[in-house]
Structure 1
Amino acid sequence: MTVTAEREKALLESVPTGLLIDGEWRDASSGKTFDVKDPATGKVIASLQDANSDDAMAAFDAACAAQADWARTPAKERADILRRAYDLINERAEDFALLMTLEMGKPLAEARGEVTYGNGFLRWFSEEAGRHYGRTLTVPEGTLRMQVHHRPVGPCLLITPWNFPLAMATRKVGPAVAAGCTMVIKAAKLTPLTTQLFAQVMQEAGLPKGVLNVVAGSSASSISGPILQDRRLRKVSFTGSTPVGVRLMKDAADNVLRTSMELGGNAPLIVFEDADLDAAVEGAFAAKMRNMGEACTAANRFLVHEDVAEEFTQKFVAKLEALKPLRGTDPESTLGPIVDEGARDDIDQLVQDAVAAGGEVLTGGHKVEGDGYFYAPTAIKVEKGNPILQQEIFGPVAPIVTFSSEEEAIEMANDTEYGLASYVFTKDQARMYRVAESIEFGLMGYNVGVISNPAAPFGGVKQSGLGREGGAEGIEEYTTVQYIGIADPWAAVKA
């Protein structure tokens, strides 16, 4: 079903464009706005209030003022709010999907998938809110009773990226709400509209004022800078590039803040000679082309055993050539645009550099002419040492390189500063375990190309960050541990 211009206009007009501070939508004190563009057309689709440092601090003051009461709110009440929000998003699933397509570009089918995935974090953490167990036991000497409590860490700064506008917000807000933390969230300036609508839904679900504050702006540092310097802040959670994450960690060190950093990736996808090649092609396609390749978990390097490389490559290229780069609202679209012109230029430069270093383009390798920021789905055959193997591509480009042994594949996979996602295709389960214990990545998919799930801990090692989001581990990131030592109740009797 084709989405009409009237439907798009009505949806965009329903999204709040102000700053959410202490439960009220307000204008920015700067008196300025910034524009949001549709990357499929390059046209402005909305103008939002442009927050500055004063607005950021007003939002943070509201979060701090609400923290004590919110922390004392029973877990069941927090859980009920999250569950109501989950139900409301389900009711408005088409609105959220269309909004993400308009501001980020992904095809509607993928946007609907993100609504399901992202909303799952609200349901998961609504169930985890009341299950965050402590423990009670006697110390080994028998002299004390020990109680271990989990308490909210306190006011949080949440900084989300542009590539998964709903899922990255729910993955941070869900556990913060469940744990009893207040927060200020700053969405990426390229895709802030989904966060605006999500915040409105959280209000409708009954979240008290001041618990969630939203400040969008054209300058990230003017928002995050003053909040990071405030000693009342207790945690920062960031998803984005490694260089920015490193700077934030340095700033966070001054106040010894809890940090969760989900940073860059350079995921290897390893296809061994015994793999089910049809399954490997399907998995590789999903791991690479989901979200136009604009994902930190995207397969970035295709390491294929030399015995099956030709057949794998032929089948994989055929799938790429069947893709249709069209605006995401078009029913035939199977590949959306790159998020902006600068990002597309960066992708194209990586391809040209790879060719200059000896790479052979098998399909694609160029910008798509016309409106918007489309890039042709690309496969490029390269040799070890090609510079594209060391870069996070963040686009629909698949470098393919061969290997001859399990040891060589592991060595090639680990030849990166990053350590987020990885994928392995083999029929040999023993090999799977050997590889899993040898490669340096926080996530591994075995004979599958998409592994993210709200119930699973998500995060990386090395330059890909620290901490975990989702799973039972996700709520731990928003709590501190308190130990209470209690005098032995049998002390008088023993005496």
Structure 2
Amino acid sequence: METPTMESGAAVKRLLIDGKLVEGEQTFPSRNPATGELVGEAPEATRAQAEAAIEAARRAFDTTDWATDVQARIRSLDRLYDALVEHKEELRELTISEVGATRQLTHGAQLDDPLEIVRFYADLLRTFPMREEIGEVESMGQRHLRWIEKEAGGVVSAILPYNYPNQLALAKLAPALAAGCTVVLKGAPDTPLTTLALGELIAEHTDIPPGVVNVLSSSGTEVGELLTTHPDVDIVSFTGSTETGRRIMAAASRTIKRVFLELGGKSAMILLDDADVDATAMFAAFGICVHAGQGCALTSRLLVPRARHDEIAAKVAAAMGKVRYGDPTHPKTYMGPLISEKQRDKVDGMVKRAVEAGATLVTGGEKAEPGFHYAPTLLSNVDPDSEIAQDEVFGPVLAVIPYEDDDDAVRIANSTIYGLSGTVFSRDQERAIALARRIRSGTFSINGGNYFGANAPFGGYKQSGIGREMGVQGLEEFLQIKTFAAPVV
């Protein structure tokens, strides 16, 4: 992927609109969160360019055979997968430098694993039934044959956050393309280059037709607002904060758009009284430090039996001391930086307010230089109704909350507006599963089980969102259902 560069040597990426790579009238910087240095410049998409992208997607959907030619879509997804694999190492280096992801994490959820989402939907499309017979019925002396056909939902606006730009882009793009939709994809202001690189790869190394995929970047709100309100957009797929999700849902209601929302989380890890404390303490400590805590499904609340609260907190703190954090390019670094100074200040402010409210700072709570690093942080004796236990931190901060019995643990786990994920540990797996069934969340891990994968639907209950990404259910989010009937002849 060759791109023009500035005099400083930093890359300047381009927008993808109607099959063409175009520059912006202005650009905005993207900085390496581990060092604060400039990674490159992203084009500031204008309103006119955003409208052109939507128009191109609308035209490609309405006037070409993309929505109906299944074999062409399979070929395009196959080629996209091949192109992603061919350019994986370029994407890896960009993801490390712009996102602050550690090198080891790019070999999993930040890059290598997401590529398989494309492979999954290409293969699923080969066998997925677009027609379903629902049987005959007799009416007015005539037999009638009835069936259902699944059709592409239309033009999709897909809007990304900064934390996992490769995974989130492909989890939206691949099923939308498989369904026959056309897409306008908008990268996050903090990580635009990674998403724009995907657009350049599509333009230069795939046969996806013009207008089917359009990729934009913007540091402001105007483009995003247009993508959620424009009458030519049929579906909005958004991942980000619950607060922004509420605004998008309200804005989309004016034109009755279908809305998929993958929002915040405040997931609980529950250690039952028979759990292996040493193993679960290590799991809890390292779990909250994945990508510096910048993950909506991470378990940021640790619920422990009140009688063992201090013992468990001490073991978790000791485990946090083993987390290697700092330079994300080093192959042995486990945790990199937060995305920006603004985000680090937010996390630090929440920790300070938690201590002022009565929580105990067991370890961490410190900034580290250069860049926007923050030490793994443990708070104990946390009030389950406090800010730190109720609001999403999006940083490497774990709150230890005591509970009295299993019923109390369930009550506390369910006592937030969120319902995205959760974990329970017990030596009695059936007991753990029974408790997990009482938690209102879209995903749940039993004794460290890994549910995440291209074939596993992901999404939340309550204000953690609407709909599911990935799996067969992820494809169905982008399909419409049409019911047919015809006389039997």
With the length of structure 2 as denominator, give the TM-score of the two structures: 0.93
* Residues 10 and 39 in structure 2, CA contact (< 8 A), matched pair in contact too: no
Which residue pairs with 1:239 in the alignment? Answer: 239
Task: Report the alpha carbon displacement of residue 225 of structure 1 after superposing the two structures with TM.
Answer: 2.4
* Residues 16 and 196 in structure 1, CA contact (< 8 A), matched pair in contact too: no
Answering whether residue 48 of structure 2 is matched by residue 54 of structure 1, we say yes
Superposed counterparts of 1:141-156, under 5 Å: 141=138, 143-156=143-156
Which residue pairs with 2:133 in the alignment? Answer: 136
Task: Report the alpha carbon displacement of residue 317 of structure 1 after superposing the two structures with TM.
Answer: 1.6
Which residue pairs with 1:22 in the alignment? Answer: 18
Which residue pairs with 2:289 in the alignment? Answer: 289
**What number of residue pairs does the alignment pair up?**
476
Answering whether residue 175 of structure 2 is matched by residue 175 of structure 1, we say yes
Task: Report the alpha carbon displacement of residue 38 of structure 1 after superposing the two structures with TM.
Answer: 0.5
Task: Report the alpha carbon displacement of residue 145 of structure 1 after superposing the two structures with TM.
Answer: 1.0
Mapped partners of 1:192, 1:116: distance in 2: 19
User: Could you list the runs of 5+ residues in structure 2 that have no partner in the other structure?
Assistant: none
Answering whether residue 441 of structure 2 is matched by residue 447 of structure 1, we say no
Mapped partners of 2:136, 2:346: distance in 1: 58
* Residues 283 and 449 in structure 1, CA contact (< 8 A), matched pair in contact too: no
Answering whether residue 34 of structure 2 is matched by residue 40 of structure 1, we say yes
Q: One-letter code of the match for 1:408? A: D
Change (3 A) 1:77 1:281: farther
Q: One-letter code of the match for 1:46? A: G
Answering whether residue 227 of structure 2 is matched by residue 211 of structure 1, we say no
Mapped partners of 2:11, 2:70: distance in 1: 30
Which residue pairs with 1:3 in the alignment? Answer: none
Which residue pairs with 2:365 in the alignment? Answer: 365
Task: Report the alpha carbon displacement of residue 15 of structure 1 after superposing the two structures with TM.
Answer: 6.2
Mapped partners of 2:283, 2:322: distance in 1: 16
Mapped partners of 2:251, 2:210: distance in 1: 28
Change (3 A) 1:345 1:354: same
* Residues 54 and 232 in structure 2, CA contact (< 8 A), matched pair in contact too: no
Q: One-letter code of the match for 1:39? A: P
With the length of structure 1 as denominator, give the TM-score of the two structures: 0.92
Which residue pairs with 1:105 in the alignment? Answer: 100
Which residue pairs with 1:74 in the alignment? Answer: 69
Mapped partners of 2:269, 2:164: distance in 1: 22
Greater percentage in helix = 1
Task: Report the alpha carbon displacement of residue 84 of structure 1 after superposing the two structures with TM.
Answer: 2.3
Tell me which moved more, 423-432 or 408-417: 423-432
Answering whether residue 82 of structure 2 is matched by residue 87 of structure 1, we say yes
Which residue pairs with 1:377 in the alignment? Answer: 376
* Residues 20 and 215 in structure 1, CA contact (< 8 A), matched pair in contact too: yes
Mapped partners of 1:360, 1:472: distance in 2: 44
Task: Report the alpha carbon displacement of residue 451 of structure 1 after superposing the two structures with TM.
Answer: 3.0
Q: Which runs of 4+ in 1 moved over 4 A?
A: 12-16
Change (3 A) 1:487 1:15: farther
* Residues 121 and 178 in structure 2, CA contact (< 8 A), matched pair in contact too: yes
Mapped partners of 2:472, 2:379: distance in 1: 40
Mapped partners of 1:268, 1:261: distance in 2: 21
Q: One-letter code of the match for 1:128? A: L
Task: Report the alpha carbon displacement of residue 311 of structure 1 after superposing the two structures with TM.
Answer: 4.2
**Once the two structures are superposed, what CA deviation does each residue of 1:106-142 show, in whole Å capped at 9, x if it has no partner?**
2111122121221121011111223332311324547
Tell me which moved more, 203-212 or 136-145: 136-145
Answering whether residue 318 of structure 2 is matched by residue 318 of structure 1, we say yes
Mapped partners of 2:326, 2:420: distance in 1: 30
Which residue pairs with 2:195 in the alignment? Answer: 195
Task: Report the alpha carbon displacement of residue 249 of structure 1 after superposing the two structures with TM.
Answer: 0.7
* Residues 442 and 458 in structure 1, CA contact (< 8 A), matched pair in contact too: yes
**Once the two structures are superposed, what CA deviation does each residue of 1:204-234 show, in whole Å capped at 9, x if it has no partner?**
1221111100110111x31122333332211
Mapped partners of 1:258, 1:88: distance in 2: 31
**Once the two structures are superposed, what CA deviation does each residue of 1:293-317 show, in whole Å capped at 9, x if it has no partner?**
1000011110012344444333322
In percent, how many aligned pairs have the same letter? 32
Superposed counterparts of 1:453-492, under 5 Å: 453-489=453-489
Mapped partners of 1:282, 1:119: distance in 2: 29
Task: Report the alpha carbon displacement of residue 73 of structure 1 after superposing the two structures with TM.
Answer: 4.8
Tell me which moved more, 388-397 or 277-286: 277-286
